[in-house]
Amino acid sequence: MKKIHLFFLFCFLLMNCASNEEEVYTPIPYNLEIPTLFAAKLIAPIVPANNLLTEEGVALGKKLFFDRILSGDGSQSCASCHNPKKAFTDQQQFSAGIQGEFGKRNAMPLFNLAWNFDERFAWDGKEFGLEEQALEPVSNPIEMHADWKKVTQRIQQHPTYPNLFLQAFGTSKIDSIIITKAIAQFERTLISGNSKFDQFLRKEATLTPEEQNGFDVFMDEAKGDCFHCHGSNNNPLWTDNKFHNNGLDATFKDLGFGNVTGDPNDNGKFKSPSIRNLAFTAPYMHDGRFSTLEEVINHYSEGLKKSATIDPLMKNIDKGGVQLSTQDKTDLKAFLLALSDNDFINNPTFQQ
């Protein structure tokens, strides 16, 4: 009988130790380094109360972002289509999945996502919240084509992941919810705010005459009139994060936002991407149809196509667009390239 009592006492102590182990570690809060202009001109970034940033959570999310363990055959990671050196794009018109199949949308760049205040992600806004967005590519049959249950099992059986989850989230029981929470934490740290134009606004750099004229064209409603959708010196995101029909097509093969809302008035609308880092994110538009910035500028100048839902912000549609001069086109491109943030794409914190 004495041996039985000792056995139960041992089991109790063992269970108690295991329980305490999951309770004792307190993750360290992560402080986002918010650029000066963001702090001055934008409201606070969105960080969900149920997924506050921690040093351990961000580090775990980064490890998962670059780990091919998330794909069905272990051949691709999130970074396969979102390369930090390319402002987290792959510079392809369409990305190939693990079986060589191609999607129909261009891989979007990833930065300043915590300031997407409407929290609609993807070109068509189909994903609400960064955590939700991270779920879909893993199981998408033409992307990573994995079974979340199998992915979870692989990570659960991994020699290091369970302890990393324990430190980040207080539990070593892993599921898709906390996996995507970790990835979202890492993605919220991807901040780009140190282009030449940012430095100009901080009075640390001077624009060339071409860049200055390009900015003036960008802001002039009688010329480029770009700022309504793509930010300004008072909106350092350089996007409104809204959905617009920018006159790409007269009829739609891809309904975009309309396919999400079910409202015909939204057909042909897609998210305005940020125009930061365009030097690294070609090709352009939701379907990557334009290879160069010259093609993009020519579209808005002479190439607009009328349709029932074309945005009222598109000007001179009957003439094809805003009819910029050759010099204004050249200078507009110079300004756009001044929004390139080399510190962002070379930030060692974001590399594998």
Give the integer Cα–Cα distance in Å for 237 and 187. 16
Give the integer Cα–Cα distance in Å for 208 and 210. 5
Residue-wise pLDDT for 154-173, tens only, equals: 999 999 999 999 999 999 99
Q: Where does residue 113 rank: exposed (0-12), middle (13-18), buried (19+ CB within 10 A)?
A: buried
State residue 119's pLDDT score.
97
The answer to whether residues 337 and 278 touch, using CB atoms and an 8 Å cutoff, is yes
The answer to whether residues 349 and 65 touch, using CB atoms and an 8 Å cutoff, is no
Q: Which residue has the tokens 């992600």?
A: 121
The residues with which 128 forms a beta bridge, in sequence order, are: 120
C-alpha to C-alpha distances, 33 to 76, 112, 131, 166, nearest whole angstrom:
30, 11, 21, 25
Residues of the chain with pLDDT under 70: 1-23
Give the integer Cα–Cα distance in Å for 255 and 50. 34
State residue 4's pLDDT score.
43
Sign of CA dihedral 247, 249, 251, 257: negative
The answer to whether residues 263 and 245 touch, using CB atoms and an 8 Å cutoff, is no
State residue 24's pLDDT score.
74
pTM: 0.92
Q: Where does residue 278 rank: exposed (0-12), middle (13-18), buried (19+ CB within 10 A)?
A: buried
State residue 23's pLDDT score.
58
